[in-house]
Amino acid sequence: MTIVDGEPVYCFKKALLTIHAVAARYSTEDPPPLPLPRTSELPVFSDNVIPSLLIHLDIIDLTTSYPTFNLLSIFPDAHKEETVNALLAVAPPQGEKVKWTPKEGPVLTTEQAYILRAAAVDACNLIVETARNLSDGEIQARAADGSSLAWLKEITVPQVDAWIWAVAKDRADYRRLERFVLRNTPYF
């Protein structure tokens, strides 16, 4: 928790991820050994990876941030059209997997990190809301290869979280993207 503009901002990544992991682990047992919460409506488990990737993909637009937060220049290439288009294109073919440690990105203050983490929570909620509200015609129009995208109407924020983490880790061009750094925090 931190205070931004006099208001508390909470981002409970560890707690939410733990609840989701326990629910996923025991959801197939009948009866489960303990009461399990529904986790499909949890917010994104926001850390440094998800907001950083959403900035690089131009989903979080820092050009509209308040100048007093000094966020505009933290990822200077993030909003360049050619950079975004390359990241949104089909993944380049990968030969053998090469371990790549992401380059350390900009070091942020606690306030800056919480602003970006909260922006990621909001962005992922909007992604899911938008997907769920697509009409059948819009879904068909987006299914260029004829595959069914009807699953978009049922997508959850934890599924978006898992997908972002998977591509951030597995797609080589995404793996090379900088992630912001918050010092003196062992784990988000």
Q: What integer pLDDT is reported at residue 124 of this predicted model? A: 98
Query: How many other CB atoms are found less than 10 A from the CB of residue 167?
Result: 16
Would the pTM of this model clear 0.85, i.e. be above it?
yes
Q: Where are the domains of the chain?
A: 41-181
Nearest by Cα to 59 from 1, 140, 128, 142? 128
Please enumerate in sequence order all residues whose Cβ is within 8 A of that of 45, keeping only pairs 6 or more positions apart, or say none: 13, 16, 17, 20, 158, 161
pLDDT-flagged residues of the chain (< 70): 98, 144-147
Exposed, middle or buried by CB within 10 Å (0-12, 13-18, 19+), for 165? middle
- Sign of the C-alpha dihedral, residues 123, 125, 128, 133? negative
pLDDT in tens, 117-135: 999 999 999 999 999 999 8
Q: Phi, psi at residue 104, to the nearest 5°?
A: -65, 130
DSSP state of 63: G
